[in-house]
Structure 1
Amino acid sequence: MSITVTDSNFSAEVLNASEPVLVDFWAEWCGPCKAMDPILDQLSGELAGRVKIAKLDVESNIGIVTQYNVRAMPTLMIFKNGQPVDIKVGAGQSRVQLVKWLESHAA
């Protein structure tokens, strides 16, 4: 199961994580975001211990959204060692493409 991150716990859960973290910047009103939820939840179990998957609601966490200049939903950003290292915008990736992308950054 993916974890929920907010402005207040982003540093602890994402920036200080020992493994790479995929942050899913999503919004309640975003249909493509909701369509990706089951895939990301499944992958969080499959890749546990190698990649952490976190969800951040852009509507209620404007500080992080502004800091990382997120402008479109969904935005998937991978963090390693406290830094963003890769980004995908939009829901155009298949499950296979997401797995391949995440495994390329896995610990």
Structure 2
Amino acid sequence: MTDSFRAFDDSALLDFGKLGIIASAESREHLLDTADQFRAAAYDVIGRTVDLDSERELQVVLFDELGLPPTPGRATDTATLYALRDKKSHLFLTHLLAYRSIRAAATR
């Protein structure tokens, strides 16, 4: 695991993405590598792979398998999941949100 993985602050990266700051090609590659580490960490928490961009698959994992309280309409958009994390933290949710934030920043 890299130091950037251990010291990740997703709130800072979320702000980075919201500002529309464009990363260099080298930075983008580093961000994507870091996102891949968070994706793998999320898989490790639940013991299998899942499409982290699939609303249906995330609904099953978050609400059915992990027993997190359902969001209105079982929504899995990023803003809703940040609100859920603030109410009921789970390591899978933390890794999922880090993955999404980093991918968003890398693809701007």
TM-score calculated relative to the size of structure 1: 0.28
TM-score by length of 2: 0.28
Looking at secondary structure, tell me which structure has more strand per residue. 1
Structure with the bigger percentage of helix = 2
Which of the pair has the greater relative contact order for Cα pairs under 8 Å at 6+ separation?
2
